[in-house]
Chains A and B, each alone.
Chain A
Protein backbone atom coordinates (compact mmCIF):
# COMPACT_ATOMS: atom_id res chain seq x y z
CA UNK A 1 0.00 0.00 0.00
CA UNK A 2 0.93 3.62 -0.17
CA UNK A 3 3.73 4.58 2.16
CA UNK A 4 5.09 7.96 2.98
CA UNK A 5 8.70 8.05 4.14
CA UNK A 6 9.86 11.04 6.14
CA UNK A 7 13.39 12.08 7.00
CA UNK A 8 15.16 12.88 9.17
CA UNK A 9 13.64 11.26 12.23
CA UNK A 10 15.24 13.82 14.56
CA UNK A 11 16.77 17.22 14.04
CA UNK A 12 18.49 19.30 16.67
CA UNK A 13 19.23 22.90 15.74
CA UNK A 14 20.47 26.05 17.37
CA UNK A 15 17.90 28.81 17.56
CA UNK A 16 18.17 30.90 14.43
CA UNK A 17 19.28 28.03 12.21
CA UNK A 18 17.13 26.73 9.39
CA UNK A 19 15.35 23.36 9.40
CA UNK A 20 14.02 21.15 6.64
CA UNK A 21 12.07 17.89 6.72
CA UNK A 22 11.44 15.77 3.65
CA UNK A 23 8.65 13.46 2.68
CA UNK A 24 8.94 10.88 -0.12
CA UNK A 25 6.67 8.36 -1.75
CA UNK A 26 7.26 5.74 -4.43
CA UNK A 27 3.80 6.45 -5.83
CA UNK A 28 2.19 9.65 -7.04
CA UNK A 29 0.37 11.44 -4.27
CA UNK A 30 -3.01 13.08 -4.78
CA UNK A 31 -2.17 15.66 -2.14
CA UNK A 32 0.12 16.23 0.79
CA UNK A 33 -0.79 17.63 4.17
CA UNK A 34 1.50 18.80 6.94
CA UNK A 35 0.74 18.63 10.65
CA UNK A 36 2.61 19.80 13.72
CA UNK A 37 2.42 18.09 17.08
CA UNK A 38 3.83 19.94 20.06
CA UNK A 39 5.27 17.84 22.90
CA UNK A 40 2.34 16.43 24.86
CA UNK A 41 -0.12 17.79 22.33
CA UNK A 42 -2.13 16.62 19.39
CA UNK A 43 -1.47 16.95 15.65
CA UNK A 44 -2.53 20.31 14.28
CA UNK A 45 -3.14 20.85 10.58
CA UNK A 46 -0.73 23.30 8.97
CA UNK A 47 -1.37 23.18 5.26
CA UNK A 48 -2.40 21.12 2.25
CA UNK A 49 -0.70 21.07 -1.15
CA UNK A 50 -2.48 19.66 -4.17
CA UNK A 51 -0.84 20.94 -7.37
CA UNK A 52 2.39 19.74 -8.92
CA UNK A 53 5.25 22.09 -8.02
CA UNK A 54 3.08 24.03 -5.57
CA UNK A 55 4.84 26.26 -3.05
CA UNK A 56 3.08 27.85 -0.10
CA UNK A 57 4.42 30.05 2.66
CA UNK A 58 3.27 30.70 6.18
CA UNK A 59 5.52 33.31 7.76
CA UNK A 60 8.84 31.48 8.28
CA UNK A 61 7.49 28.15 6.98
CA UNK A 62 7.78 27.19 3.30
CA UNK A 63 6.02 24.10 1.96
CA UNK A 64 6.77 22.53 -1.40
CA UNK A 65 5.16 19.78 -3.43
CA UNK A 66 7.39 18.14 -6.01
CA UNK A 67 6.80 18.36 -9.73
CA UNK A 68 6.16 14.63 -9.92
CA UNK A 69 3.94 14.78 -6.80
CA UNK A 70 6.09 12.14 -5.14
CA UNK A 71 7.85 14.30 -2.61
CA UNK A 72 7.34 17.30 -0.41
CA UNK A 73 9.33 19.41 1.99
CA UNK A 74 8.79 21.77 4.87
CA UNK A 75 11.44 24.40 5.47
CA UNK A 76 11.58 26.64 8.52
CA UNK A 77 13.77 29.74 8.30
CA UNK A 78 15.48 31.00 11.44
CA UNK A 79 13.98 28.55 13.90
CA UNK A 80 12.58 29.72 17.21
CA UNK A 81 11.95 27.76 20.38
CA UNK A 82 8.24 27.88 19.58
CA UNK A 83 8.93 25.69 16.53
CA UNK A 84 9.73 22.71 18.76
CA UNK A 85 7.61 19.65 18.04
CA UNK A 86 7.13 16.81 15.61
CA UNK A 87 6.25 17.61 12.02
CA UNK A 88 4.28 15.03 10.07
CA UNK A 89 3.50 14.83 6.41
CA UNK A 90 0.40 12.88 5.42
CA UNK A 91 -1.43 11.95 2.27
CA UNK A 92 -4.75 10.38 1.40
CA UNK A 93 -4.45 7.06 -0.39
CA UNK A 94 -6.93 5.77 -2.93
CA UNK A 95 -8.93 4.10 -0.19
CA UNK A 96 -9.49 7.43 1.50
CA UNK A 97 -7.18 6.75 4.42
CA UNK A 98 -4.82 9.47 5.63
CA UNK A 99 -1.37 7.92 5.71
CA UNK A 100 1.14 9.65 7.95
CA UNK A 101 4.89 9.75 7.66
CA UNK A 102 6.88 8.79 10.73
CA UNK A 103 7.45 12.42 11.61
CA UNK A 104 10.51 14.58 12.20
CA UNK A 105 11.07 15.64 15.77
CA UNK A 106 12.58 19.11 15.94
CA UNK A 107 14.35 20.39 19.00
CA UNK A 108 15.66 23.95 19.18
CA UNK A 109 18.44 24.97 21.52
CA UNK A 110 18.14 28.59 22.67
Chain B
Protein backbone atom coordinates (compact mmCIF):
# COMPACT_ATOMS: atom_id res chain seq x y z
CA UNK B 1 0.00 0.00 0.00
CA UNK B 2 1.64 3.23 -1.20
CA UNK B 3 -0.55 5.51 0.91
CA UNK B 4 -1.96 7.19 -2.19
CA UNK B 5 -5.68 6.67 -2.71
CA UNK B 6 -7.67 7.05 -5.89
CA UNK B 7 -11.37 6.90 -6.55
CA UNK B 8 -13.20 5.48 -8.29
CA UNK B 9 -11.40 2.27 -9.11
CA UNK B 10 -13.38 1.72 -12.30
CA UNK B 11 -15.43 4.07 -14.42
CA UNK B 12 -17.54 3.27 -17.45
CA UNK B 13 -19.05 6.13 -19.36
CA UNK B 14 -20.13 7.19 -22.83
CA UNK B 15 -18.50 9.40 -25.43
CA UNK B 16 -19.12 13.07 -24.90
CA UNK B 17 -19.50 12.73 -21.16
CA UNK B 18 -17.45 14.30 -18.38
CA UNK B 19 -15.87 12.52 -15.44
CA UNK B 20 -13.86 13.47 -12.38
CA UNK B 21 -11.10 11.34 -10.93
CA UNK B 22 -9.99 11.93 -7.38
CA UNK B 23 -6.64 11.43 -5.68
CA UNK B 24 -5.45 11.79 -2.11
CA UNK B 25 -1.67 11.93 -1.74
CA UNK B 26 0.41 10.30 0.96
CA UNK B 27 0.35 12.11 4.24
CA UNK B 28 2.83 14.97 4.11
CA UNK B 29 3.38 14.91 0.34
CA UNK B 30 2.81 18.25 -1.31
CA UNK B 31 3.17 17.19 -4.94
CA UNK B 32 0.59 15.33 -6.96
CA UNK B 33 1.18 13.99 -10.44
CA UNK B 34 -1.28 12.59 -12.94
CA UNK B 35 -0.38 9.98 -15.54
CA UNK B 36 -2.24 8.23 -18.30
CA UNK B 37 -1.33 4.65 -19.16
CA UNK B 38 -2.59 3.10 -22.34
CA UNK B 39 -1.37 0.03 -24.17
CA UNK B 40 0.12 1.92 -27.09
CA UNK B 41 1.42 5.02 -25.29
CA UNK B 42 2.88 3.64 -22.09
CA UNK B 43 3.00 5.88 -19.02
CA UNK B 44 2.45 9.49 -20.08
CA UNK B 45 2.86 12.36 -17.67
CA UNK B 46 -0.11 14.70 -17.73
CA UNK B 47 0.32 17.34 -15.06
CA UNK B 48 1.86 18.10 -11.68
CA UNK B 49 0.63 20.22 -8.81
CA UNK B 50 2.67 21.35 -5.86
CA UNK B 51 0.93 22.74 -2.81
CA UNK B 52 -2.03 23.90 -4.83
CA UNK B 53 -0.13 25.40 -7.74
CA UNK B 54 0.42 23.92 -11.19
CA UNK B 55 4.11 23.02 -11.39
CA UNK B 56 4.61 21.15 -14.65
CA UNK B 57 2.52 20.24 -17.63
CA UNK B 58 2.93 17.29 -19.97
CA UNK B 59 0.90 16.04 -22.87
CA UNK B 60 -2.43 16.95 -21.36
CA UNK B 61 -5.31 17.57 -23.73
CA UNK B 62 -7.27 20.81 -23.54
CA UNK B 63 -10.35 18.73 -22.70
CA UNK B 64 -8.58 17.65 -19.51
CA UNK B 65 -7.99 19.82 -16.49
CA UNK B 66 -6.85 19.30 -12.95
CA UNK B 67 -6.60 21.09 -9.67
CA UNK B 68 -5.19 20.58 -6.19
CA UNK B 69 -7.22 21.69 -3.23
CA UNK B 70 -6.07 23.22 0.08
CA UNK B 71 -6.26 19.82 1.76
CA UNK B 72 -3.85 18.65 -1.02
CA UNK B 73 -6.19 16.18 -2.65
CA UNK B 74 -6.40 16.52 -6.40
CA UNK B 75 -9.00 16.01 -9.07
CA UNK B 76 -8.54 15.30 -12.76
CA UNK B 77 -11.46 16.35 -14.91
CA UNK B 78 -11.92 14.74 -18.30
CA UNK B 79 -14.56 16.21 -20.58
CA UNK B 80 -16.00 15.56 -24.04
CA UNK B 81 -14.72 12.04 -23.66
CA UNK B 82 -13.64 10.08 -26.70
CA UNK B 83 -13.08 6.37 -27.18
CA UNK B 84 -9.34 6.97 -27.18
CA UNK B 85 -9.47 8.36 -23.65
CA UNK B 86 -10.02 4.83 -22.36
CA UNK B 87 -6.97 4.12 -20.23
CA UNK B 88 -5.62 3.69 -16.74
CA UNK B 89 -5.17 7.00 -14.94
CA UNK B 90 -2.65 7.03 -12.14
CA UNK B 91 -2.04 9.62 -9.53
CA UNK B 92 1.29 9.76 -7.77
CA UNK B 93 2.63 11.88 -4.96
CA UNK B 94 6.04 12.90 -3.74
CA UNK B 95 7.64 14.99 -1.07
CA UNK B 96 8.95 17.63 -3.47
CA UNK B 97 11.81 19.64 -2.15
CA UNK B 98 13.65 16.52 -1.14
CA UNK B 99 16.50 15.28 -3.22
CA UNK B 100 15.14 11.95 -4.35
CA UNK B 101 11.64 12.87 -5.48
CA UNK B 102 10.50 9.29 -5.41
CA UNK B 103 6.97 9.08 -6.71
CA UNK B 104 4.43 6.88 -4.97
CA UNK B 105 1.66 5.71 -7.22
CA UNK B 106 -1.95 5.10 -6.33
CA UNK B 107 -3.87 2.04 -7.50
CA UNK B 108 -5.26 3.88 -10.53
CA UNK B 109 -8.66 4.50 -12.05
CA UNK B 110 -9.56 2.39 -15.05
CA UNK B 111 -11.66 4.45 -17.43
CA UNK B 112 -13.65 2.84 -20.20
CA UNK B 113 -15.39 5.10 -22.69
CA UNK B 114 -18.05 3.38 -24.78
Contact = CB atoms under 8 A, between A and B. Distances in A.
A45 B101 contact: no
A29 B42 CA distance: 20
A36 to B, nearest CB: 11
Interface stretch (A17-25, A52-60, A96-104): A96-104
Interface in A31-59: 33, 35, 41-45, 48
A42 B2 contact: yes
Given A92-B101, A95-B56, A98-B33, A42 B106 contact: yes
B108 A97 contact: no
Given A42-B2, A96-B55, A33 B102 contact: yes
A87 interface: no
A101 B45 CA distance: 12
B102 A88 contact: no
B49 interface: no
Interface of B: 2, 33, 42-43, 45, 48, 55-56, 58, 90, 92, 100-108
